[in-house]
Structure 1
Amino acid sequence: MKKKVVVGLSGGVDSSVSAYLLQQQGYEVIGLFMKNWHDDSVTISDECPWLDDSNDAMMVADKLGIPFQTVDLSEQYKERIVDYMFNEYERGRTPNPDVLCNREIKFDVFMKIALSLGAAYVATGHYCRKGEFEKDGETIYQLLSGKDNNKDQSYFLCQLTQDQLSKTLFPIGELQKSEVRRIAAEQELVTADKKDSQGLCFIGKVRLPEFLQQKLQPKEGVIVEIEADEDLYKTETPSFTNKKEELDFLSKKYEYTSKDGKVVGKHQGAHYFTKGQRKGLAVGGTPEPLFVIDTDVDENVIYTGQGKDHPGIYRRALFITNEEVHWVRKDLAIKADETLEVMARIRYRQPLQKAILHQTENGMYVVFEEPQASITEGQFVAWYDGEELLGSGVIS
């Protein structure tokens, strides 16, 4: 009996080649296209052509001679991703829909459908790898970064569990993107030259403020510029009586009020902006470009600073509540008062940074060796040991 694998065919080159490689390895392959989002009122022109994608996926399946069907997950998608996004933006946080889509849709809803079809595995076109070994009589699964450093997507899978990993295959994890395109061309797959999609359909292909305006009403507020030499950046490092005091100090955000700076412009809603953002402020005439250093959704104020070296952009540490700490490798989870040296990143494609995890009774602190730019609430921090992703958490 051949083992059955369901491949999430997205209509892109990566999942197409994944299906082909699995077929070559002797699996019985089924192609499934996920229809996640089709609200045309917020997409820009034809920039979200899910119909084209589904046709491309169907043509790939046809060429490979594998069964193909479309599943409509838009209801679950709206509930678990879109509503969550609105909720997070409303709270002044910046969610990462790509990480959530993997956790909630591809490796949960979609995986359950695949298993109900009798599949042993689900496969995706992610650039990452899976390892496994025995420890104390049980199999431990590892999430490893992809061999193509430029395309490594392990960060997007940072919320996966041992159970999900046990049923997942990543057929292109050992390959470079150029090799994937070459294989697609050799097999005359229609997706061979198709350019990569930008994450989720409506993120990046939809003007985010317009998308958010469906639920979050515009309301005018002020843009305040904080000078780099403002007194609040000159606080002396106090002496600490215990480690927790130091961790709290390092991870503490700067607290701003409108009196700390000068009003330089107006905006249509603080919840449309995120830390580190430069575009969309529409304030000119400053020697260096303005960056968002903080947003206050309660007072509806955006705080900005000039230049990417502005002290308001940087912080040494961040905090994750216990509910939001997630270990892919549960066997390596640290307990209260324990620490672990890791390499970590706070956004996709950021070069890995040296950091130390400090677990306390009420949550985990991640303290970086170097100050990090634009640590943003709602985003994910992921930590690694070498090329293995050990865990992650939502920045609070």
Structure 2
Amino acid sequence: MKKVVVGLSGGVDSSVTAHLLKEQGYEVIGLFMKNWHDDSVTISDECPWLDDSNDAMMVADKLGIPFQTVDLSEEYKERIVDYMFNEYEKGRTPNPDVLCNREIKFDVFMKIALSLGADYVATGHYCRKAEFEKDGKTVYRLLSGKDNNKDQSYFLCQLTQEQLSKTLFPIGELQKSEVREIAAAQDLVTADKKDSQGLCFIGKVRLPDFLQQKLKPKEGVIVEVPATTDVFQKEDKNFNSRIEELEYLSSKYQYSMKDGKVVGKHQGAHYFTKGQRKGLAVGGTPAPLFVIDTDVEENVIYTGQGKDHPGIYRKALFVSPEETHWVRQDLAITDGEELKVQARIRYRQPLQDAVLYQTEHGMYIVFDKPQASITEGQFVAWYHEDELLGSGVIS
């Protein structure tokens, strides 16, 4: 009997994961990760991790499996929270869920599970795993979940072959409705529990409030840049090389105060991200304002009217060599090579046709159609059909 440690989060997905594995004959242990107890950043009187931990314990009790809690709050603060503050301070927008999977669930947590004698770690992610032999070695494939509305492969885009080899995703073949039905049939306390919306395993924390407790407010101005400004007038260029063209396509617009007019004030450019519409508190424009760029050095937010504003769109992006990650290392391209893929720059975005161009300086990804709000610090993930091949941090 193989031993599996399930990351029981107190939600319905991980509860059903544990039940299915038990049905399949595994020896199952439930482990709850406590990732947060910094009282200096409390958002409300609620203590979501306590409720979640109780729910996880009741599920384990119902299933008749051993259960314990591990406190990973120190590692979480060091690897996720500090990194997040650092990135926001630089004017980048990190993705804590991708990082939490890479740094906590499939690293720190996985090591604890394996030290308990586990053969595998299982999570309630909506994705699938497949494997095949190549040159005498097992190659693992990370596939999207069968439920298109819930596919979470994007959040696992930084996993390695080593991590995949020890991971199970039992609900990847199921629809969310089926998962709830199974939970109800087993009379699990989490059957009707709402999906959590907060930061990965922290719970009901609102990001702006969270950031404000560490990054001090600093008043600055909001500038509206008209769509007709010279910045957006692209002249026909003759490029001396493909690389020059790729650099041009992936470069962002450079704004200055003289490109528009001041329309309001804000409390800190580092609280805002590209594409953001809420929280600007500027009224009276025919179409809503969207953030098209933030300048944390000068503490200025640049905005444009309407979701079709040219400042929102870009055709290409760049990933530096140290930020490029291949799940399928055997398919990695080398300097001068290109690869047709589908890619997404955020969770739940439909896959977009694109081409990867590998150069000695890093990788360019050129999309067939211009993409809205390409944001530094976020992850781009590339796929072939339903297999996630690799990912990188947008620079």
Q: Shared fold by TM > 0.5?
A: yes
Structure 2 residue aligned with 1:289: 288
| Letter of the 1:58 counterpart | M
2 CA distance for matches of 1:357 and 1:47?
Answer: 45
Structure 1 residue 181 corresponds to structure 2 residue 141:
no
The answer to whether structure 1 residue 131 and structure 2 residue 130 are counterparts is: yes
Q: CA deviation at 1:48?
A: 4.9
2:49–2:202: 8 Å Cα contact kept in structure 1? no
Q: Structure 1, residues 101-134: CA drift from partner, whole Å, max 9, x if none? A: 0000000000000000000000000000000000
* Superposed displacement of residue 232, structure 1: 1.1
Matches within 5 A, 1:206-355: 206-355=205-354
State whether structure 2 residue 55 is matched by structure 1 residue 56: yes
Aligned to 1:32: 31
What residue is the counterpart of 1:22 in the other structure?
Answer: 21
Aligned amino acid, residue 337 of structure 1: G
| 3-state DSSP of counterpart to 1:236 | coil
Task: Indicate if the aligned counterparts of 2:9 and 2:201 stay in contact, CA closer than 8 A.
Answer: no
What are the ranges of 5 or more consecutive residues in structure 1 without an aligned counterpart?
none
Look up the match of 1:93: 92
Tell me, yes or no, if the aligned pair for 2:96 and 2:200 is still in contact at 8 Å: no
Paired with 1:202 and 1:16, the residues of 2 have a C-alpha distance of 15
Distance 1:201 1:346, change over 3 A: closer
Cα root mean square deviation, aligned: 1.1
Amino acid at match of 2:3: K
* 2:374 matched residue in structure 1: 375
Q: Which AA in structure 1 matches 2:374?
A: I
Counterpart contact for 2:49–2:201, Cα < 8 Å: no
Query: Does residue 1:196 correspond to 2:212, yes or no?
Result: no
Structure 1 counterpart of 2:120, one-letter code: Y
Q: Distance in 2 between matches of 1:101 and 1:307?
A: 34
Change (3 A) 1:4 1:203: closer
Q: CA deviation at 1:216?
A: 1.3
Counterpart residue identity of residue 167, structure 1 = K
Distance 1:163 1:336 in 2: 25
AA paired with 2:93?
A: T
Aligned to 1:205: 204
Structure 2 Cα separation of the partners of residues 266 and 70 of structure 1: 45
Q: Which amino acid aligns with 2:249?
A: L
For residues 204 and 368 of structure 1, do their structure 2 counterparts lie closer, same or farther at Cα, with a shift above 3 Å needed?
farther
Q: Which amino acid aligns with 1:394?
A: V
* Corresponding residue SS for 2:107: helix
Q: Which residue identity is paired with 1:182? A: E
* SS in structure 2 of the partner of residue 282 of structure 1: coil
Number of matched pairs: 395
Cα 1:360–1:204, aligned 2, differ >3 Å: closer, same or farther?
Answer: farther
> Which residue of 1 is the match for residue 8 of structure 2?
9
User: What is the distance in 2 between the residues matched to 1:35 and 1:344?
Assistant: 33
Any conservation in 2 of the 1:37–1:201 contact (CA below 8 Å)?
no
In structure 1, what is the Cα distance between the partners aligned to 2:316 and 2:81?
29
Once the 2 structures are TM-superposed, how far is the Cα of residue 15 of structure 1 from its aligned partner? Answer: 0.2
Structure 2: distance between partners of 1:166 and 1:173:
16
Q: Whole-Å Cα distance in 2 between the matches of residues 250 and 166 of structure 1? A: 38
C-alpha distance 47-280 of structure 1, shift in aligned 2 (>3 A): farther
Distance 1:46 1:359 in 2: 50
CA distance in 2, matches of 1:133, 1:70: 35
Structure-1 separation of matches of 2:201 and 2:223: 30
Q: 1:203 to 1:26 in 2, by over 3 A?
A: closer
State the Cα distance separating 1:231 from its structure 2 match.
1.1
Report the counterpart of residue 153 of structure 1 in structure 2. 152
The code of the aligned residue for 1:185 comes to: A
Amino acid at match of 1:304: T
Q: 1:46: how far off?
A: 4.4
Displacement of 1:207 in angstroms is: 3.0
* Aligned residue number for residue 394 of structure 2: 395
Q: 1:339 & 1:40 partners in 2: Cα distance? A: 49
- Tell me the CA shift for residue 40 of structure 1: 4.1
Distance 1:35 1:158, change over 3 A: same
What is the TM-score when the length of structure 2 is the normalising length? 0.98
Q: Which stretch shifts more, 118-127 or 227-236?
A: 227-236
Tell me how far apart the structure 2 counterparts of residues 203 and 382 of structure 1 sit (CA, whole Å): 25
Partner-residue secondary structure (3-state), 2:41: coil
Cα deviations across residues 5-37 of structure 1 (Å, max 9, x unaligned)?
A: 000000000000000000000000000000001
Give, in whole Å, the separation in 1 of the partners of 2:201 and 2:277. Answer: 21
Residues 48 and 201 in structure 1, CA contact (< 8 A), matched pair in contact too: no
Distance 2:63 2:3 in 1: 15
3-state DSSP of counterpart to 1:181: helix
